[in-house]
């Protein structure tokens, strides 16, 4: 399948076609959409993390100026609860236990910010004023925040019939084989670590604007989302808001998603129902506090891992036991993240003959957790890449050398945990990263830093991840509630412009450029003649959205649709050129044949297709529109090696990243400039997790105490180094473009690389993220005392 | 935010009338604290009186051996002002390190002083240098003006109109920023004045204060290494999400040494 297209555009750093409007403030986001007869919604939210609702009286709000309606659970009688999209079975074969999550709570609230009612008013401020007038009475209940505490005998139980707050106790791999491997191992190392809870913080908060057309019985919902088609299926099939053919989801420009704009949330559904009740368009735009409290959080694992090695440092078995915090409810993909997106990646880049993972997912009085940039894969990479360094330290091996001894070198490679890695060149990436970092010169730099009173450390981390999610049949076996192919329709218009309707949806990735690069080269036409259409279910035929670095799936569908156009063009040109179809070649935008001197440029063929007067229309249909659905035969497996150097000031505990060298392998890349941008962003988010970011709840009240930028430490440019990037290329055989995906890589590989460097600087086994200055200072104090 | 009446008086007298002590009107200067509070619906004044454009609160001028800064001067204006850079360069650097460019172009010295946020930068300079806070009713020395956590001697309806600092070229401000907010986790304004060595610490938790033990040690010929053992007022330091009292006390020592080091260069 591997035939990478190369040309004037594809593979080159073409400037992003969409940036003009973004830079000039001309983007169109959901909040920019103002409809005639617009109204505004505000939510009544629980101020308590766990409470029984004793009273709910909307009457005072209804008397407030401008108020049209207050919608509560009573207005949604018979409407389905929010579903979790992935069925996970426990080790005993039982189905996961799903705590019922209503659109609006009426009995029990289980996290701070859970919506209880929605007020619709003429203006945003009127809606907010009135939301405060809704009377809600609460009986507070005890709370649990920490995933380790949730299963304890004294922990409050969040959901009836879910004892110990345990959603599932799941396993993957051959436990007996791992136990045997560990029993016979010359060396064993064990590590307990936490993967800190993160808040996604897209620049554009969640927003929707729902418009019910009572005449056409059609519902249109403008929604900032990564998967408009998935939402259409959900809104129609699950909630019955409108028939699928009468339900239009439009996601215009989306100001960042990072996974947090992929779930099905209660607020947007509630607004859609409210629009039907008031028969006017209803808009809701989350404020930043709502985003902190209710956008699905990421990570939050507590893990113990044991790695067995032979006398030479070769891995024999890895046993992992993880407790994953789900929050108050299972979010749309919440159950999937710490299972099949996580345990399947625990082989890392290594030959590990036996792997077992047990994951217990627990409910706590916190915001539901779902996919966040990497979604399970960063958690896995963190476990593997940390314990490998712990092992290197225990065995006295260099951290690069221990990896070298264990790399997978032959592909395809079947891991013991589901996946068959399709391609890779791990040692080449290691060598590239070490060279870029001048790894051998580190000792001198460490000595020089020591002379300045700084502790310098170096960290290596090698990651592999699974992207390009599909194939649908495998996903169904893993519990998926929907297929994950993608689709594209290519329309060549009579005057020569080309519309590409794509089922993927860019939320910052630059699809308007990269897909156009592909099509321009395929047809040999100017890139300016191409328009990419995404994010509108009334326009593109179908799709499954953008997440998990899966644009290669949608772009492959576009490629296949282009090739259908080219093939039809050959049939048309056979008549125009009066030669046989199989003698025609299409190169550089021109149809040519050895049988004639006559050539037909692509545009002329397109005009002829629409004129429909030079070929028999009973054999060849007029027009030039083709579509394709692509279901990949396998995931893709991007990989890379990061080498980080840090300097720690032992007087303050401040960690400065002084050097960052990356060697990534994304297979073929559509646009290296965009890829570099994705890496910079991913590395920044990973460094943010390693050094600053952490969602913290008060253990007594389960109030989110990092609910603003005053308290939640975002990564900033002044805390980042110049990134030194390099790229290898082993094309993926899993799609016709040979692409692998790059959106999440940086956030997956960088947290362990940074922590490995910090542990090296401090000569310690482990420290948890985020390595805040005080935490590191205390480690320095202990080191000084040793 | 809740509905309120927005007033922009033309004179300080008009402003004072609008800020009726018996009402619940609030003065708005740069708005860097007030507006987020209003947006979060944590306050609901019936009237907001915008004093940021009052000409009487503007201007930066030398008066003898002092430099007087109008209360409505922005951080950006202070940091870039040639008179400040000449007469009190540490204050210019302090102002240039507050927040980000948007904050610096809106936030004002008067607003910061009147708010007395326990992690704000300006109060440390005012206290260390014995600044005089000029209000619509009186002039008050900084030591008397600040009364602890968000506390000042300002009475309802009283406005800060200017802050008067002595000239001082031997001064330095060093901030250890909170990684999230970039407010001072610990900030130290150190100065060698005609009255002796002065060290004012902000960010500790309960409001700006002077570290007198350190001042005395340095006055009596001690070096920065003597700060290691100088006693800190433990009850001035708080423990919170961003740092324990123990860590803040460590930072106070480290940052003070840095500030003194910058003066002595």
Identify the pLDDT of residue B264.
75
**Which residues numbered 176-205 in B keep a CB inside 8 Å of some CB on A?**
176, 179-181, 183
Residue in chain B closest to A692 (alpha carbons) equals B179
- Residue A470 — very low, low, confident or very high, per pLDDT cuts 50/70/90? confident
**At residue A97, does pLDDT exceed 60?**
yes
Encoding tokens for residue A176? Answer: 């007996």
CA distance A229 to A484: 11
Q: Over the stretch B156-173, which tens digit does the pLDDT of each residue have? A: 999 999 999 999 999 999
Question: Which residues, including other chains, have CB under 8 Å from residue A477's CB and lie 6 or more apart?
Answer: none
pLDDT in the model for residue A220? 98
Q: Which helix (H) or strand (E) holds A50?
A: none
- Peptide linkage before A19 cis (omega within 30 of 0): no
pLDDT band, very low/low/confident/very high, at A1 (cuts 50, 70, 90)? very low
Q: How far is B60 from chain A (nearest CA, A)?
A: 31
User: Is B241 in contact with A705 (Cβ distance < 8 A)?
Assistant: yes
Q: What is the per-residue pLDDT for A336? A: 96
- Which residues of chain A neighbour B251 with C-beta distances below 8 Å? 652
Phi, psi of A323 (to 5 degrees): -110, 125
CATH homologous superfamily for the domain A33-141+203-256+261-294: Aldehyde oxidase/xanthine dehydrogenase, a/b hammerhead (3.90.1170.50)
- Domain pair B55-166 / B171-264, same fold: no
Helix (H) or strand (E) holding A380: helix A377-395
Of residues B1, B242, B254, nearest to A651 (C-beta): B254
**pLDDT of residue B177 exceeding 90:** yes
Which tokens is A87 given?
């069925």
| Predicted confidence band of residue A6 (pLDDT cuts 50, 70, 90) | low
State how beta strands A166-173 and A354-363 pair.
Answer: antiparallel
| CB atoms A774 and B244 under 8 Å | yes
Q: Nearest to residue A228, comparing CAs of A559, A550, A541, A498?
A: A541
Interface test with B, best of A123, A774, A780 (most B CBs within 10 A): A774
Band of pLDDT at residue A2, cut at 50, 70 and 90: very low
CB < 8 Å from B in window 95-134 of A: 125, 128-129, 132
Residue A480, beta-bridge partner list: A86
Chain B hits for A711, CB-CB cut-off 8 Å, are: 180-181, 241-242
Q: Is B208 helix (H, G, I), strand (E, B) or coil?
A: coil
Length of chain B: 265
Contact between chains at A289 and B243 (C-beta distance less than 8 A): no
pLDDT at A480: 84
Per-residue pLDDT for A663 more than 90?
Answer: yes
Give the closest-approach CA distance of B156 to chain A in angstroms.
28
Q: Which residue has the tokens 């179809």?
A: A581
Is the pLDDT higher at A475 or at B68? B68
- The DSSP code sequence of A435-503 is HHHTGGGHHHHHHHHHHTT-EEEEEEEEEE--BS---HHHHHHTTBSS---EEEEEEE-TTS-EEEEES
- Is the distance from CB of A321 to CB of A303 less than 8 angstroms? yes
Residue of B nearest to A126 (CA): B2
Q: In what order do the strands lie in the sheet with B5-7?
A: B5-7, B47-50, B26-28
Mutate which: A773, A776, A782, vs B, most B CBs within 10 A: A773
Would you kindly state where each structural domain of chain A is located, as residue ranges? 19-26+485-630, 33-141+203-256+261-294, 301-470+634-785
* Cβ contact B41–A132 (<8 Å): yes
Q: Does B102 touch chain A (CB under 8 A)?
A: no
What whole-number distance in Å separates Cα of residue A162 and Cα of residue A432?
Answer: 50
pLDDT reading at A495 higher than 50: yes
Shortest CA distance from A776: residue in chain B:
B247
Q: Does residue A774 sit at the B interface (CB-CB below 8 Å)?
A: yes
Q: Select the CATH number that applies to the domain covering A301-470+634-785 from these four: 3.40.50.1220, 3.30.365.10, 2.40.30.20, 3.30.479.30.
A: 3.30.365.10
Q: Using CB atoms, which residue from B3, B40, B243 is nearest to A774?
A: B243
Whether residue A719 lies within 8 A of chain B, CB to CB, comes out as yes
Q: Does B243 touch chain A (CB under 8 A)?
A: yes
User: What fold characterizes domain B55-166?
Assistant: 3.30.465
User: Is some CB atom of chain A closer than 8 A to the CB atom of B6?
Assistant: no
Residue for token pair 């194939």: A471
Express each pLDDT in A483-494 by its tens digit.
889 999 999 999
ipTM of the complex: 0.95
Q: What is the pLDDT of residue A481?
A: 81
CB of A225 closer than 8 Å to CB of A261 = yes
The SS3 of residue A81 is coil
Whether residues B179 and A652 touch (CB distance < 8 A) is answered with no
Residue A8 DSSP one-character state? S
Q: Do domains A19-26+485-630 and A301-470+634-785 have the same CATH topology?
A: yes
Q: Can you tell me the distance from the alpha carbon of A144 to that of A365, in angstroms, rounded to the nearest whole number? A: 6
Q: How far apart are the first and last CA of chain A?
A: 59
Contact criterion met (CB below 8 Å) for A68 and A39: yes
Task: State the pLDDT at residue A786.
Answer: 62
Mean pLDDT of A216-231: 96
Tens digits of per-residue pLDDT, A673-708? 999 999 999 999 999 999 999 999 999 999 999 999
Residue A87 makes CB contacts below 8 A (sequence gap 6+) with A95, A96, A335, A479, A481
Q: Which chain A residue has its CA at the smallest distance from B251's CA?
A: A652
Q: In a 3-state reduction of DSSP, which class is residue A159? A: coil
Q: How many CB pairs under 8 A join A and B?
A: 47
Contact (CB<8Å) A706/B241: yes
DSSP SS3 for A184: coil
Task: Give the tens place of pLDDT for each residue, A301-332.
Answer: 999 999 999 999 999 999 999 999 999 999 99
Q: How far is A699 from chain B (nearest CA, A)?
A: 13
A714/B180 Cβ within 8 A: yes
Average pLDDT for residues B81-110, to the nearest whole number? 97
CATH 3.30.365.10 fits A19-26+485-630, yes or no: yes
A608 vs A617: CA distance, rounded Å: 12
- Give percent above pLDDT 90 in chain A: 94
Q: Residues A330-351: pLDDT tens digits?
A: 999 999 999 999 999 999 999 9
**Nearest residue of A to residue B253, measured between CA atoms:** A651
Residue A191: beta bridge partners?
A305
Gap between the Cα atoms of A660 and A656, Å rounded: 11
Mean model confidence pLDDT for chain A: 96
User: Is A777 in contact with B250 (Cβ distance < 8 A)?
Assistant: yes
**Are A113 and A367 spatial neighbours (Cβ–Cβ below 8 Å)?**
yes
> Does the CB of B41 have a partner CB in chain A at under 8 Å?
yes
Model pLDDT for residues A709-768, shown as the tens digit of each residue: 999 999 999 999 999 999 999 999 999 999 999 999 999 999 999 999 999 999 999 999
Whole-number mean pLDDT of chain B? 96
User: Tokens 């409050």, residue?
Assistant: A156
Closest-approach residue (CA) in chain A for B186: A652
Segment A389-446, tens digit of pLDDT: 999 999 999 999 999 999 999 999 999 999 999 999 999 999 999 999 999 999 999 9
Cβ neighbours, 10 Å, residue A184: 11
> Are B190 and B224 a contacting pair, CB within 8 Å?
no
Contact at CB, A774 and B247, closer than 8 angstroms: yes
Contact in structure between A70 and A61 (CB atoms under 8 Å): yes
Any CB–CB contact under 8 A between B254 and chain A?
A: yes
Q: Are strands A486-492 and A625-630 parallel, antiparallel or unpaired?
A: antiparallel
Say which CATH topology domain B5-50 has.
Answer: 3.30.43
B199-220 tens-digit pLDDT: 999 999 999 999 999 999 999 9
Q: Which residues, including other chains, have CB under 8 Å from residue A677's CB and lie 6 or more apart?
A: A510
Give the residue-averaged pLDDT of A543-558: 89
Interchain proximity A772–B2, CB inside 8 Å: no
Q: Which residues contact A205 (CB under 8 A, 6 or more apart)?
A: A285, A286, A287, A288, A290, A291, A295
Residue A35 has pLDDT above 70, yes or no: yes
Q: Nearest-CA distance from B140 to chain A in Å?
A: 31
Q: pLDDT grade, residue A5 (50/70/90)?
A: low
- pLDDT at residue A784, rounded to an integer: 79
Residues with Cβ within 8 Å of residue A478, at least 6 apart in sequence: A86, A336, A340, A418
Q: Are A95 and A39 in contact (CB under 8 A)?
A: no
Give me the residue from A132, A712, A777 closest to B180, CB to CB.
Answer: A712
Residues of A in Cβ contact (< 8 Å) with B242: 711
Q: Which long-range contacts (CB under 8 A, 24 or more apart) does B11-16 make?
A: B11/B54, B11/B56, B12/B51, B12/B54, B12/B56, B12/B57, B12/B136, B12/B159, B12/B161, B15/B49, B15/B51, B15/B54, B15/B159, B16/B136, B16/B157, B16/B159
Say which CATH topology domain B171-264 has.
Answer: Enolase-like; domain 1 (3.30.390)
Shortest alpha-carbon distance between residue A454 and chain B (Å): 14
Cα A341 to Cα A16, A275, A391, A478: the distances in Å are: 31, 36, 25, 10
Average pLDDT over residues A52-69: 98
DSSP B57-109: G--EEEETTEEEEETT-BHHHHHH-HHHHHH-HHHHHHHHTSS-HHHHTT-BH
Both tokens assigned to A332: 């749309």
- Residue A696: per-residue pLDDT: 98
User: What digits encode the pLDDT tens for the residues A354-370?
Assistant: 999 999 999 999 999 99
Tokens representing A140 are 């507070």
Q: Does A710 touch chain B (CB under 8 A)?
A: yes
Q: Would you kindly state where each structural domain of chain B is located, as residue ranges?
A: 5-50, 55-166, 171-264
For residue B258, list chain A residues with Cβ-Cβ distance below 8 A. Answer: none
Chain A window 650-679: which residues touch B at a Cβ cutoff of 8 Å? 651-653
What are A444's strand-pairing partners? none
Check residue A785 and give its pLDDT.
Answer: 64
Chain B residue numbers with beta carbons less than 8 Å from the beta carbon of A705 are: 241
Q: Which residues of B touch A132 (CB under 8 A)?
A: 41
Percent of chain A with pLDDT over 70: 99
B244: closest CA of chain A, how far (Å): 8
Q: Best of B43, B97, B247 to disrupt the A interface by mutation (most A CBs within 10 Å)?
A: B247
Question: Which residues from B are below 8 Å from A778, CB to CB?
Answer: 247
């Amino acid at each position: 399948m591997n035939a990478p297209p190369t040309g004037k555009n594809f593979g080159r750093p073409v400037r992003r076609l969409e940036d003009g409007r973004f830079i000039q403030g001309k983007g169109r986001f959901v909040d920019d959409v103002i409809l005639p007869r617009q109204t505004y919604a505000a939510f009544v939210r629980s101020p308590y993390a766990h409470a029984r609702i004793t009273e709910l009286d909307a009457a005072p709000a209804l008397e407030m100026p401008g108020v049209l309606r207050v919608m509560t659970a009573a207005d949604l009688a018979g409407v389905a609860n929010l579903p979790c999209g992935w069925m996970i079975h426990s080790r005993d074969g039982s189905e996961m236990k799903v705590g019922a999550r209503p659109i609006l709570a009426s009995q029990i609230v289980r996290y701070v910010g859970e919506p209880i009612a929605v007020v619709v008013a003429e203006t945003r401020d009127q809606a907010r004023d009135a939301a405060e007038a809704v009377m809600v009475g609460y009986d507070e209940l005890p709370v649990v925040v920490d995933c380790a505490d949730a299963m304890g005998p004294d922990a409050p139980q969040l959901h009836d019939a879910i004892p110990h707050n345990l959603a599932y106790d799941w396993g993957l791999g051959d436990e007996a084989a791992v136990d045997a491997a560990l029993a016979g191992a010359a060396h064993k190392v064990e590590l307990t670590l936490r993967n800190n809870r993160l808040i996604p913080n897209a620049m554009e908060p969640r927003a929707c604007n729902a418009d019910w057309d009572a005449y056409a019985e059609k519902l249109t919902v403008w929604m900032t989302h990564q998967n408009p088609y998935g939402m259409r299926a959900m809104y129609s099939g699950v909630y019955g808001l409108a028939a699928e053919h009468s339900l239009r989801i439009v996601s215009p420009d989306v100001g960042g998603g990072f996974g947090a704009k992929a779930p099905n949330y209660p607020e947007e559904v509630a607004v859609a129902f409210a629009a039907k009740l008031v028969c006017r368009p209803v808009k809701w735009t989350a404020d930043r506090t709502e985003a902190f409290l209710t956008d699905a959080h990421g990570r939050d694992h507590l893990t113990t891992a044991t790695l067995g090695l032979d006398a030479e440092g070769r891995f024999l078995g890895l046993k992992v036991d993880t407790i994953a915090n789900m929050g108050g409810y299972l979010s749309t993909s919440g159950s999937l993240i710490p299972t099949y997106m996580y345990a399947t990646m625990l082989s890392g880049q290594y030959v590990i003959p036996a792997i077992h993972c047990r994951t217990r997912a627990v409910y706590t009085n916190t915001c539901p957790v779902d996919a966040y940039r990497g979604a399970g894969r960063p958690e896995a990479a963190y476990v593997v890449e940390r314990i490998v360094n712990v092992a290197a330290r225990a065995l006295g091996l260099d951290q690069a050398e221990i990896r070298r001894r264990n790399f997978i070198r032959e592909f395809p490679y079947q891991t013991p945990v589901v996946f068959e890695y399709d391609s890779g060149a791990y040692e080449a990436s290691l060598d590239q990263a070490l060279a870029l970092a001048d790894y051998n010169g580190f000792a001198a730099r460490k000595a020089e830093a020591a002379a300045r009173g700084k502790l310098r450390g170096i960290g290596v981390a090698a990651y592999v991840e699974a992207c390009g999610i599909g194939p649908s049949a495998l996903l169904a076996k893993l519990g998926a509630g929907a297929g994950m192919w993608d689709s594209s329709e290519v329309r060549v218009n009579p005057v020569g412009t080309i519309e590409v309707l794509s089922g993927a949806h860019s939320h910052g990735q630059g699809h308007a450029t990269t897909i156009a690069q592909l099509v321009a080269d395929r047809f040999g036409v100017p890139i300016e003649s191409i328009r990419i259409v995404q994010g509108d279910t009334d326009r593109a035929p179908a799709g499954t959205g953008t997440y998990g670095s899966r644009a290669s799936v949608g772009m492959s569908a576009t490629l296949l649709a282009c090739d259908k156009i080219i093939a039809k063009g050959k049939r048309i040109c056979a008549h125009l050129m009066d030669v046989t179809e199989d003698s025609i070649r299409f190169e550089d935008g021109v149809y040519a044949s050895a049988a004639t001197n006559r050539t037909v440029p692509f545009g002329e063929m397109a005009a002829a297709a629409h004129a429909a007067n030079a070929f028999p229309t009973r054999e060849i249909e007029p027009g030039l529109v083709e579509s394709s659905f692509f279901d990949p035969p396998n995931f893709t497996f991007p990989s890379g090696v990061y080498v980080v150097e840090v300097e720690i000031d032992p007087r303050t505990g401040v960690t400065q990243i002084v050097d960052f060298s990356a060697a990534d392998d994304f297979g073929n890349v559509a646009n290296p400039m965009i890829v570099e941008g994705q890496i910079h962003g991913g590395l920044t988010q990973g460094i943010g997790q390693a050094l600053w970011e952490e969602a913290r709840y008060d253990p007594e009240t389960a109030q989110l105490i990092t609910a603003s930028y005053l308290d939640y430490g975002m990564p900033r440019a002044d805390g980042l180094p110049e990134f030194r990037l390099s790229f290898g290329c082993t094309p993926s055989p899993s799609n016709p473009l040979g692409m692998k995906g790059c959106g999440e890589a940086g956030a997956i590989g960088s947290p362990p690389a940074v922590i490995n460097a910090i542990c090296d600087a401090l000569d310690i086994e482990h420290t948890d993220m985020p390595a805040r200055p005080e935490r590191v200072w205390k480690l320095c104090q202990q080191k000084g005392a040793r | 935010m809740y509905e309120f009446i927005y007033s922009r008086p033309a004179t300080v007298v008009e402003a004072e009338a609008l800020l009726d002590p018996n009402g619940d009107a609030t003065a708005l200067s740069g708005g860097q604290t007030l507006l987020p509070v209003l947006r979060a619906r944590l306050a609901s004044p019936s009237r907001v009186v915008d004093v940021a454009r009052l000409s009487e609160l503007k201007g930066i001028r030398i008066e003898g051996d002092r430099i007087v800064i109008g209360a409505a001067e922005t951080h950006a204006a202070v940091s870039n002002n040639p008179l400040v850079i000449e007469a009190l360069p540490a204050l210019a650097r302090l102002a240039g390190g507050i927040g980000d460019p948007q904050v610096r172009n809106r936030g004002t010295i008067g607003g910061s002083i009147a708010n007395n946020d326990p992690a704000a930068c300006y109060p440390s300079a005012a206290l260390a240098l014995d600044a005089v806070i000029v209000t619509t009713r009186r002039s008050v020395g900084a030591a008397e003006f600040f009364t602890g956590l968000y506390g000042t001697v300002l009475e309802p309806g009283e406005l800060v109109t200017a802050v008067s600092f002595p000239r001082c070229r031997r001064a330095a401000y060093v901030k250890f920023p909170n990684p999230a907010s970039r407010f001072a986790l610990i900030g130290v304004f150190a100065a060698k004045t005609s009255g002796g060595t002065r060290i004012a610490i902000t960010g500790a938790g309960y409001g700006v204060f002077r570290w007198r033990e350190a001042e005395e040690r340095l006055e009596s010929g001690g070096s920065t290494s003597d700060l290691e053992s100088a006693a800190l007022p433990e009850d001035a330091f708080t423990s919170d999400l961003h740092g324990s009292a123990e860590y803040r006390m460590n930072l106070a020592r480290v940052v003070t040494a840095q500030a003194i080091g910058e003066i002595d260069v």
